[in-house]
């Protein structure tokens, strides 16, 4: 018995080289060398330091996957190459590393397109074809370079859910998503998910709370990204810019004089300057979008599956129109709405490839509030939290482009007795409302400054008083002691 077991192990351990390198389960209709077109991506990154924004930040690296979708066009995830300083691509079975660069990146849908400096060695490689959305319970294969090895890996999974859900890379965006019962591990990100030899998605995130659960970016999102960049730039998603509330409750439907037919959602908020501003208003009932009935959960039926009503908007671009049917104060309306982007929404998204903006003045460090800063500082002040939460839905951005916050104080005689004011937002400087960081810098560095700068903070027990005549000497001293090369950075 032992002799037979030893013989079996020997046969497994000493397979011929060709058998060791062969990749099983080649997708139907695809030549085996298609796997050459799945590349390993090595990324050296530099992550900005929002705690001490004048510092260069920390360095790190990671591994991801990409695949060929056109001549010198490698598709991958945005999070694989975000904040990258150097990118190297490796072909399966080859030791050669090819320098690469990011051509386009879309953090809101976690996709990026790369190119290599010299495409010569890839000229005859097969190109992946992008197909449609896989059906529930159908089987797919995930190809990539998961953590734990440098060789290509192929795993199988079954499509278990098609949903409209959060994309973790930006923390602020939701799109169509497909769940499969195969783990998506670090390194798999950006790899093709194939069915019948064609790409039906891009692997991009897993679920820590469950085993063998992964998520892929479906082809409608991929196709939209590739179409968006056809003009040479990425223009981001458009937004309907409204909030809705489901109408399940029978009592609520009776109060709104609606039949119990499971159709319609309540409009609860309309973002100022958004696509629907001046058209919809809180209290309206939205019934259909582009002729698709909206059920009381806010879903519509597309391609045989129920998805969030925003999926209609997801597939459109700036300047496109969408037809809304809604009930307002007892009157029916059919209205074309021209869609546009909502850049102010980026307040709630993690930012990449950007240097932190800041001002250091008399040891006081001012920074504009965003999710990067919020995640770093964990602000507890109720006013800062309110300004952050209401920035978009209540239109605070129309009055204040930036919410400027006093984030830290580098100790110096000029700012003694001010340490208890960190973490508060700036309201005014010398009686002038602060609307953005550049304006704050101009007020603090005016050509003819007042004798004292008076800085009022939201929730502050008293104003901060800075003697202007002592600032130049203090700034020089603070720069030297705290090794601050530049006292400000006003650009991303």
List, for residues 343-359, the tens digit of each pLDDT value. 999 899 999 999 999 99
Per-residue pLDDT at 34: 81
Domains and CATH numbers, the chain: 22-122 (2.40.10.10), 139-231 (2.40.10.10), 238-343 (2.30.42.10), 355-489 (3.20.190.20)
Cα 158 to Cα 34, 136, 142, 279, distances in angstroms = 22, 8, 11, 43
Per-residue pLDDT at 186: 84
Tokens 């059920």, residue? 295
| H or E element, residue 471 | helix 471-482
489 φ, ψ (degrees, to nearest 5): -140, 110
Task: Flag whether pLDDT at 239 surpasses 50.
Answer: yes
Residue 73 backbone zone (phi > 0: left; psi -120 to 50: alpha; other: beta): beta
Task: Flag whether pLDDT at 10 surpasses 80.
Answer: no
Task: Flag whether pLDDT at 320 surpasses 90.
Answer: yes
Q: Pick the catalytic residue: 37, 43, 79, 370? A: 79
Q: Which residues contact 100 (CB under 8 A, 6 or more apart)?
A: 41, 74, 87, 88, 89, 114, 115, 116, 117
Q: What is the mean pLDDT of residues 240-253?
A: 95
Respond yes or no: is residue 32 known to be catalytic.
Answer: no
Per-residue pLDDT at 487: 97
**Confidence band of 31 (pLDDT split at 50, 70, 90):** very low
Q: Pick the catalytic residue: 37, 43, 189, 275? A: 189
Q: What is the mean pLDDT of residues 464-478?
A: 97
Which tokens is 115 given? 């190119």
Task: Flag whether pLDDT at 19 surpasses 60.
Answer: no
Residues 345, 396 contacting (CB under 8 angstroms): no
101-105, 112-116, 417-421, 423-427: least confident range: 417-421
**pLDDT tens, residue by residue, 156-195:** 999 999 888 899 999 899 999 999 998 788 889 999 999 9
Residues 194, 216 contacting (CB under 8 angstroms): no
Residues 262, 253 contacting (CB under 8 angstroms): no
Q: In sequence order, what DSSP letters do the residues of 21-65 get, joined into one string? A: H--SSPPTTS-GGGGGGEEEEEEEEEE--SSSTTS--EEEEEEEE
Of the CA atoms within 13 Å of residue 77, those in its CB half-sphere come to: 33
Q: How many CB atoms lie within 10 A of CB 246?
A: 14
**pLDDT tens, residue by residue, 46-96:** 999 999 999 999 999 999 999 999 999 999 999 999 999 999 999 988 889
Helix (H, G, I), strand (E, B) or coil at 348: helix
**pLDDT tens, residue by residue, 274-309:** 999 999 999 999 999 999 999 999 999 987 788 899
Q: Pick the catalytic residue: 37, 92, 107, 110? A: 110
Per-residue pLDDT at 29: 37
Residues 74, 89 contacting (CB under 8 angstroms): yes
**Angstrom distance (rounded) from CA 236 to CA 55:** 30
**Confidence band of 24 (pLDDT split at 50, 70, 90):** very low
Average pLDDT of the chain, as a whole number: 90
Respond yes or no: is residue 273 known to be catalytic.
Answer: no
Per-residue pLDDT at 288: 97
Respond yes or no: is residue 110 known to be catalytic.
Answer: yes
Per-residue pLDDT at 14: 29
Which tokens is 106 given? 């879309």
Helix (H, G, I), strand (E, B) or coil at 464: strand
Closest listed residue to residue 284, CA positions, set 241, 239, 326: 326
**Confidence band of 32 (pLDDT split at 50, 70, 90):** low
**Confidence band of 21 (pLDDT split at 50, 70, 90):** very low
More confident: 262 or 305: 262
Q: What is the mean pLDDT of residues 115-140?
A: 94
More confident: 324 or 25: 324
**pLDDT tens, residue by residue, 360-385:** 999 999 999 999 999 999 899 999 99
Helices (runs of H) and strands (runs of E) counted in the chain: 10, 30
pTM, whole model, 2 decimals?
0.88
């Amino acid at each position: 018995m032992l002799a037979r077991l030893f013989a079996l192990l020997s046969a497994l351990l000493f397979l011929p080289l060709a058998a060791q390198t062969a990749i099983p389960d080649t997708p139907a209709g695809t030549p085996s060398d298609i796997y050459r077109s799945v590349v390993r991506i090595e990324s050296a990154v530099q992550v900005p330091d929002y705690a001490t924004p004048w510092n260069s930040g920390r360095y790190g690296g990671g591994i991801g996957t990409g695949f060929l979708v056109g001549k010198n066009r490698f598709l991958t995830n945005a999070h694989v190459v975000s904040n990258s300083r150097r990118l190297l691509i490796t072909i399966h079975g080859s030791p050669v590393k090819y320098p690469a660069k990011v051509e386009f990146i879309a953090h809101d849908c976690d996709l990026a397109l790369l190119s290599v400096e010299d495409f010569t060695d890839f000229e005859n490689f097969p190109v992946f074809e992008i197909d449609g959305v896989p059906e529930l319970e159908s089987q797919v294969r995930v190809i990539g370079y998961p953590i734990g090895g440098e060789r290509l890996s192929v795993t199988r999974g079954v499509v278990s859910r098609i949903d409209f859900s959060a994309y973790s890379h930006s923390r602020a965006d939701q799109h169509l998503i497909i769940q499969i019962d195969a783990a998506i591990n670090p390194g798999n990100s950006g790899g093709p998910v194939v069915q019948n030899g064609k790409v039906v998605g891009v692997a991009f995130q897993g679920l820590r709370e469950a085993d063998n659960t992964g998520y892929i970016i479906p082809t409608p999102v991929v196709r939209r990204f590739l179409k968006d960049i056809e003009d040479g730039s990425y223009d981001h998603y458009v937004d309907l810019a409204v909030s809705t509330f489901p109408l399940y409750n029978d009592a609520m439907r009776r109060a709104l004089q609606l039949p119990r037919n499971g159709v319609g959602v309540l409009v609860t908020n309309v973002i100022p300057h958004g696509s629907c501003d001046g058209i919809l208003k809180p209290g309206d009932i939205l019934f259909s979008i582009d002729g698709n009935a909206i059920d009381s959960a806010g879903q519509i039926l597309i391609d045989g599956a129920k998805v969030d009503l925003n999926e209609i908007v997801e597939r459109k671009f700036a300047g496109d129109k969408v037809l809304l049917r809604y009930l307002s104060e007892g009157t029916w309306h059919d209205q074309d709405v021209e869609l546009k982007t909502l850049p102010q929404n980026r307040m709630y998204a993690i930012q990449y490839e950007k240097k932190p903006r800041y001002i250091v003045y008399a040891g006081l460090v001012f920074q504009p509030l965003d999710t990067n800063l919020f995640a770093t500082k964990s602000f507890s002040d109720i006013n800062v939290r309110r300004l952050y939460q209401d920035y978009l839905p209540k239109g605070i951005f129309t009055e204040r482009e930036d919410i400027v916050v006093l984030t830290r104080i580098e100790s110096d005689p000029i700012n003694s007795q001010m340490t208890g004011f960190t973490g508060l937002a700036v309201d005014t400087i010398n009686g002038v409302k602060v609307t953005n960081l550049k304006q704050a810098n101009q007020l603090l560095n005016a050509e003819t400054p007042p004798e004292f700068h008076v800085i009022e903070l939201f929730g502050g027990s008293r104003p901060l008083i800075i003697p202007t005549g002592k600032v130049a000497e203090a700034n020089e001293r603070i720069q030297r002691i705290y090794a601050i090369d530049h006292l400000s950075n006003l650009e991303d």
